[in-house]
Amino acid sequence: MSIRWSLVIPVKTLVAAKTRLAAATGPHRTRLAVAVAGDTVAAALSCAEVARVIVVTADPAAAGPLGALGAEVVPDPDRGLNTALRTGAAHAVRVAPGDPVGALQADLPALRPAELGLALAAAAEFDQAFVPDALDVGTTFYGVRAGLPFTPRFGGESRAKHLAGGAKELCVPGIESVRRDVDTPDDLRAAMALGLGPRTAAVVAELWPSS
C-alpha cells in the first residue's frame, strides 16, 4: 500500500496576505489570496499521495472556502508561521498517527497533483526532507516520516535553515509547480507560464484581461 500524507497548509489572515502584490492587484488582493490558497488546497486534495489537508488559519474568509473544498480547518494560534505549522501537525498526528506529516506553502497556484506526488514519494524515503523554492532561497514543502519530530524552519532563507537542521533537500526533476510560490508580480507571471489553477486564473483574467 502506498504511503499517504497529512499535509498542513498555513493561510495568513487575508489582510496581511500577499502584501508584495498590493500595487499590482489593488482591491483584489484578498480575493487573489483566497483563490491562490484554494487552488493549492484543491490540487493537494487531488493528489493520490495525500490522505488529508489541514488548513491552519485565523481568518473566517479563508476558513469557509477552504473547508468547503474538503480541508480540515484548525485555528491559527497567531504566534508565527512555524507555530501554526506545528499546531496543524499536532492535529494530524492525533487524527492519523501512522501517516507522515508535511507542511506545504499556501501560495502555489500552478500546483499539479502529479508533481506534488513525485515530491511526496521522494520525501517518504527520508526521515525529514524539503523542497526548495524556485529561487533556491526559501522552502515550499517540508515533511517528516510518521512518528518523527516535526521541526519546520520556514521564514527568510529557509532552505539554508532546513539544510542546517539535517533535512534532505529534494532535487527531483519535473516538480516545477511545487517550487513556484508566488510573492511578487514576477512570481505570478512565472506561475502563469506554468498554468494557473482555475480560481487564480479567473481572478487574474479580471485583473489583466489581455494576459
Is pLDDT of 7 > 70? yes
pLDDT-derived band of residue 12, with 50, 70 and 90 as boundaries? confident
99 within some domain: yes
210 within some domain: no
155 within some domain: yes
The predicted-structure confidence for 54-85, as pLDDT tens digits, reads as follows 999 999 989 999 999 999 999 999 899 999 99
pLDDT-derived band of residue 21, with 50, 70 and 90 as boundaries? low
Burial of 195 by CB count in 10 Å (0-12 exposed, 13-18 middle, 19+ buried)? exposed
- What local confidence, expressed as pLDDT, does residue 17 receive? 53
pLDDT-derived band of residue 183, with 50, 70 and 90 as boundaries? confident
pTM metric for this prediction? 0.93
Binding-site residues, please?
A: 139, 155, 158
23 within some domain: yes
72 within some domain: yes
- What local confidence, expressed as pLDDT, does residue 167 receive? 98
Summary mean pLDDT of the chain: 92
211 within some domain: no
Domain of 56, in residue numbers: 5-205
- What local confidence, expressed as pLDDT, does residue 25 receive? 53
77 within some domain: yes
The predicted-structure confidence for 164-179, as pLDDT tens digits, reads as follows 999 999 999 999 999 9
147 within some domain: yes
- What local confidence, expressed as pLDDT, does residue 184 receive? 85
- What local confidence, expressed as pLDDT, does residue 185 receive? 84
Number of structural domains the chain divides into: 1
Long-range residue pairs from 130-134, CB within 8 A, at least 24 positions apart, any chain: 130/159, 130/162, 130/167, 130/168, 130/169, 130/170, 131/170, 131/172, 131/175, 131/178, 131/179, 132/159, 132/169, 132/179, 133/159, 133/179, 133/180, 133/181, 134/176, 134/179, 134/180, 134/181, 134/187, 134/190
The predicted-structure confidence for 92-111, as pLDDT tens digits, reads as follows 999 999 999 999 999 999 99
Highest mean pLDDT among 4-13, 26-35, 131-140: 131-140
Binding-site residues for phosphoenolpyruvate, please?
A: 139, 155, 158
CATH of the domain at 144: 3.90.550.10
